[in-house]
């Protein structure tokens, strides 16, 4: 298969007359082909973003149910009992329903919110624009990836309505809970549907990742060498390669788990297993095999999500410091190093599984090694702020939030990457706090920063600045409060995934902390209403945006807002790197877009 994108018209030489074929191509597609079954990467990116935001509403609702239960475990909720009679017996949440809610919350937020919006959504929208291409390398495959992704989301949501309810084995789907239908109610048809949904998601993500890799390698604009790419493109490129390498083992594991569930095999079920007072006939399997296969994906997936978040922040920050990013080349090689190392550290999720101490020592050392390039990248981000006069617009605030949560959340990872410490902290709320700060917080801040930053490019209108700043503070403060406090719950030994702590004397003192965390969670969820209002209002009544409202340098800002089908009137020719800030051009600007000819200003990189 070869790229199917038509070659764009040749850029005319300065001073030559413009010919008719240089004008913006006429788009005669109908509504369905333009906005529904579209092969335009921008439409597909927006479809991913909108779908992910809708899934986030479902995930946030489930989070609210979790925090209601943990904050007020003995309270009766008559309204919820009427809405969810099987989950709220007598108005109080059942333990089985709590497991299903936790499982679906984690699955939706990791795979169907962050992956949809941050990775597939902005990846589809930005990569072709930032490499100067007219579209993805394989437009039809791109369209197919979205519709399979949408199908996977709908299949997952359907599991709420089957007998036994949604999957309840955790978002990691550990056997035997996920392998034996009689284990918990959610292990019935709901777990099978979960596995089918994940198989569809993996197929979609593989298509999208393959497209991004092919686009970066094969359809870059003339003059755009790899070392002139924005860090956003580098982050998506590396994340896509990681996805292509890491997802196949989980696909194989899902198939084996389906065989265990429905065809009597024993890949993950050992002999002597008793469920519901019945001895299962299976023998020879190992639940740890699933853990190895899952975390061989699971840890690279962490970087599949985090690297684009960091890349986006690195593109936003220079626009509001008016300085180039610090240490561009070493940042690129740090991303490459992180990508390589992320494939060999999965075992630190399994320190308490009974692995050999020698294996534990290796995974500890490898995990601590990966902190070196991550720290270098973070220090470079901090150095990019040094000596700058910060313009605290909304995208910049969220980018600073990325940096704050990346630093504080990463510090907790030092403890969990050490086998000795992890054996005490494993499966406690310390893990929950760390995970949410990194996978939840860093990516959430980057997602909102990206929406506020590229909204003018996507829709041709500006979002409201006052509402945006209100939204930032109503998001960052409660979020940090919730998950910073959860680290201390973990240090007190509070186990995760328990639906109530009322039966444990040693956890009685944590009741007040859980109440504060639950109140902060309600503020966090309510604060997102400000974003919804701002988003919808700005779509309809927002101020018309200029082509380059942030005076940024990368190629997407040389296209109209919003860009037409085909993106550029003429093929851009790149003359310089992506962060030419703090310069003086002939027209008095303090930046140079990547297409500014060298005779108008000397090239610095």
Residue pair 534/471 in contact (Cβ under 8 Å)? The answer is yes
Q: What is the mean pLDDT of residues 425-443?
A: 94
- From 11-20, 411-420, 537-546, 581-590, the region with the lowest mean pLDDT: 11-20
Task: Output the pLDDT for position 586.
Answer: 79
CB 438 within 8 A of CB 523: no
186 lies in some domain: yes
pLDDT class of 25 with cuts at 50, 70, 90: low
> Number of helices (H) and strands (E), helices first, in the chain?
17, 4
Nearest to 523 by CA among 557, 582, 478: 478
Give the chain's largest Cα–Cα span: 85
Cα distances from 113 to residues 38, 140, 403, 558, in angstroms, run 21, 23, 21, 30
Which residue among 173, 198, 229 closes a domain? 229
* 226: three-class secondary structure by DSSP: helix
Confidence label for 602 from pLDDT (cuts 50, 70 and 90): confident
Residue 45 located in a structural domain: yes
Q: Is residue 200 part of a domain?
A: yes
Q: Is residue 389 part of a domain?
A: no
Q: Is the pLDDT of residue 8 over 60?
A: no
Q: Which two tokens stand for residue 565?
A: 């089908």
Residue-wise pLDDT tens digits, 283-331? 889 999 999 999 999 899 999 999 999 999 999 999 999 999 999 999 9
Q: Is the pLDDT of residue 362 over 80?
A: yes
pLDDT tens for residues 107-157? 999 999 999 999 999 999 999 999 999 999 999 999 999 999 999 999 999
Which of 207, 229, 251 is the C-terminal boundary of a domain?
Answer: 229
pLDDT at 181: 87
Q: What is the mean pLDDT of the chain?
A: 90
Taking residues 149-171, what's their average pLDDT?
Answer: 93
Asked if the model's pLDDT at residue 38 lies above 60, the reply is yes
Average pLDDT, integer, range 222-250: 95
Last residue of a domain, one of 229, 253, 283: 229
Q: Which domain holds residue 560?
A: 553-605
Residue 262 domain-assigned? no
How distant, in Å, are the alpha carbons of 40, 66, 197, 406, 439 from that of 400?
32, 29, 35, 10, 16
DSSP letter string over 275-299? Answer: ETTEE----S--HHHHHHHHHHHHH
Contact between 86 and 186 (Cβ < 8 Å): no
pLDDT in tens, 525-563: 999 999 999 999 999 999 999 999 999 999 999 999 999
Q: At what angle do helices 139-158 and 41-71 cross, to 10 degrees?
A: 20
Residue 185 has pLDDT above 90, yes or no: no
In a domain, 547, yes or no: no
Query: Per the domain annotation, does 87 fall within a domain?
Result: yes
CB 590, CB 549: distance < 8 Å: no
Does pTM surpass 0.85?
A: yes
Residue 196 Cα distances to 149, 291, 602, angstroms: 12, 19, 55
As for how many domains the chain has, the answer is 2
Task: Give the three-class secondary structure for 110.
Answer: helix
CATH number of the domain bearing residue 222:
1.20.210.10
pLDDT(16) > 80: no
pLDDT digits (tens, 9 = 90+) for 68-91: 999 999 899 999 999 999 899 889
**C-beta of residue 134 within 8 angstroms of C-beta of residue 325:** no
CA 559, CA 568: separation in Å to the nearest integer? 6
Alpha-carbon gap, residue 106 to 492, rounded angstroms: 23
The answer to whether residue 572 sits within a structural domain is yes
What pLDDT, on the 0 to 100 scale, is given for residue 10? 37
Percent of the chain with pLDDT over 90: 77
pLDDT (0 to 100) of residue 437: 94
Q: Are 3 and 214 in contact (CB under 8 A)?
A: yes
Q: Which residue has the higher pLDDT, 241 or 2?
A: 241
| Spatial separation of the C-alpha atoms in residues 203 and 188, rounded to whole Å | 24
What pLDDT score was predicted for residue 28?
67
pLDDT of residue 17: 36
Q: Residue 420: which of 494, 357, 487 has the closest Cα?
A: 357
């Amino acid at each position: 298969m070869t790229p199917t994108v038509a070659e764009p018209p040749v850029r005319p030489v300065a001073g030559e007359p413009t010919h008719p074929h240089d004008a913006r191509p006429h788009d005669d597609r109908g509504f369905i082909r333009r906005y529904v079954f579209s092969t335009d990467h921008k439409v597909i990116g927006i479809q991913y973003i909108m779908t992910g935001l809708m899934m986030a509403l479902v995930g946030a609702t489930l989070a609210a149910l979790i925090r209601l239960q943990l904050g007020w475990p003995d309270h009766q909720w008559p309204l919820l009992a009427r809405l969810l009679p099987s989950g709220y017996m007598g108005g109080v949440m059942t333990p089985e329903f709590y497991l299903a809610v936790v499982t679906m919350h984690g699955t939706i937020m990791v795979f169907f919110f962050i992956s949809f919006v941050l990775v597939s959504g902005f990846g589809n929208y930005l990569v072709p624009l930032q490499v100067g291409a007219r579209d993805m390398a394989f437009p039809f495959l791109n369209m197919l990836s979205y519709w399979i992704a949408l199908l996977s989301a709908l299949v997952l949501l359907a599991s709420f309505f089957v007998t036994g309810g949604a999957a309840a084995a955790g978002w990691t789907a550990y056997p035997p809970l996920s392998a034996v239908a009689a284990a918990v109610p959610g292990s019935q048809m709901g777990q099978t549907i979960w596995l089918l949904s994940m198989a569809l998601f993996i197929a979609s993500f593989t298509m999208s990742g393959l497209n991004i890799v092919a686009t970066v390698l094969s359809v870059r604009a003339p003059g755009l060498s790899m070392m002139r790419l924005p860090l956003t493109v580098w982050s998506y490129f590396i994340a896509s390669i990681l996805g292509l390498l890491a997802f196949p083992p989980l696909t194989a594991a899902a198939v084996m788990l389906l065989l265990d569930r429905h065809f009597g095999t024993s890949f993950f079920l050992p002999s002597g297993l008793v469920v519901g007072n019945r001895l299962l006939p299976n023998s020879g399997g190992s639940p740890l095999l699933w853990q190895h296969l899952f975390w061989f994906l699971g840890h690279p997936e962490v970087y599949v999500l985090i690297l684009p978040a960091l890349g986006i922040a690195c593109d936003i920050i220079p626009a509001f410091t008016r300085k180039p990013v610090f240490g561009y080349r070493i940042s690129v090689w740090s991303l490459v190093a992180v990508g390589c190392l992320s494939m060999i550290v999965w075992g630190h999720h399994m320190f308490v599984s009974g692995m050999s101490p020698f294996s534990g020592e290796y995974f500890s050392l490898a995990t601590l090694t990966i902190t070196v390039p991550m720290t270098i990248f973070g220090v470079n981000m901090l150095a990019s702020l040094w000596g700058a006069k910060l313009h605290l617009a909304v995208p910049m605030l969220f980018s600073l939030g990325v940096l704050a949560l990346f630093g504080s959340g990463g510090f907790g990872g030092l403890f969990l990457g050490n086998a000795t410490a992890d054996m005490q902290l494993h499966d406690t709320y310390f893990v929950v706090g760390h995970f949410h700060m990194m996978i939840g917080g860093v990516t959430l801040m980057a997602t909102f920063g990206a929406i506020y930053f590229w909204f003018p490019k996507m829709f041709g209108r500006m979002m409201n600045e006052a509402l945006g700043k209100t939204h930032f503070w109503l998001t960052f403060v409660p979020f940090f409060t919730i998950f910073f406090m959860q680290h201390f719950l973990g240090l007190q030994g509070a186990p995760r995934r328990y639906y109530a702590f009322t039966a444990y004397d040693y956890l009685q003192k944590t009741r007040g902390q859980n109440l504060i965390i639950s109140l902060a969670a309600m503020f966090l969820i309510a604060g997102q209403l400000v974003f919804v209002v701002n988003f919808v209002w700005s779509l309809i009544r927002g101020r018309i945006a200029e082509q380059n409202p942030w005076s940024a340098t990368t190629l997407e800002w040389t296209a109209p807002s919003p860009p037409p089908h085909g993106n550029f009137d003429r093929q851009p020719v790149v003359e310089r790197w992506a962060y030419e800030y703090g310069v003086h051009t002939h027209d008095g600007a303090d930046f140079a877009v990547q297409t500014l000819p060298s005779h108008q200003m000397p090239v610095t990189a």
